[in-house]
Structure 1
Amino acid sequence: MLRKRLDKDEDLKEIYVGEIHKLVEMGYAEVVPNKDINRADGKVWYLPHHPVHNPKKPDKTRFVFDCGAKFGESSLNDHVCQVQDLANKLVGVLLRFRE
C-alpha cells in the first residue's frame, strides 16, 4: 500500500527515501541484510510506517510508526514498559479544591 502511494507521488517518494536514509545515518534504523529480507521462519517482522503530510506545513513530512500493529498475538505497544498514571484525576482535584 505504501509502495503504491509513493509510486503515484514522486515528490513524496523523494522526501520519504531521504528521511529513511537520515534514520539509517543517525543509527535509528539499519539496513536489513539481503539474506534476512525474505525469511520464512517467523522470527522477523517489520514495523509498519507511513508518511504524514500537514498541508499547513508544506516543507514538513514526518513518519508515523504503527506500534499498535499486531504480529501474532502481540504488538510493540504490548511490550513497552507500562507505568502507572501519576497524574491526579480531575474529579479528585476538584473535590479537594472544594474542601
Structure 2
Amino acid sequence: MRQVLQDIVDVTERIRSHRPVQQLQDLRVAVLPSFAHGWLLPRLADFTRWHPHLRLQLHGSMDYVDLNEGQVDCTIRFGHRRWPDAEVRPLMGGSGARGCGQ
C-alpha cells in the first residue's frame, strides 16, 4: 500500500512539473468594512479555492474611491449606479449592493 501511495505522489508531481506555473495576480478591491465583515469574509475560502491564481487585497473604507487613481481595481458599494467613470453591475437583487470597476 505504501508503494502505491508513493507512486501516486510521484505521478502527481511529474504532471505538475509539466504544467506552466500560473503567475499570481493581485486583485485590489475597495469594500465597505461592514459588507466585508458580514458577507465577504465568510466566503473568501471558496473564492481562493475557485481562483487560486488571484491574490485578493481588500481595502476597507467608507470613502468614495476614484478608480482612475489606480489604487484599487474595483469597488463594492451600496447605491444606485451613480458613480462617474465606472462600469456598474448589480451583485445582489434588491439589496443595492453594486460592484464597479474600470
Using the size of structure 1 for normalisation, the TM-score is: 0.27
1 or 2, which has the higher strand percentage? Answer: 2
Higher relative contact order (CA 8 A, sep 6+): 2
Using the size of structure 2 for normalisation, the TM-score is: 0.26
Greater Cα radius of gyration, structure 1 or 2: 1
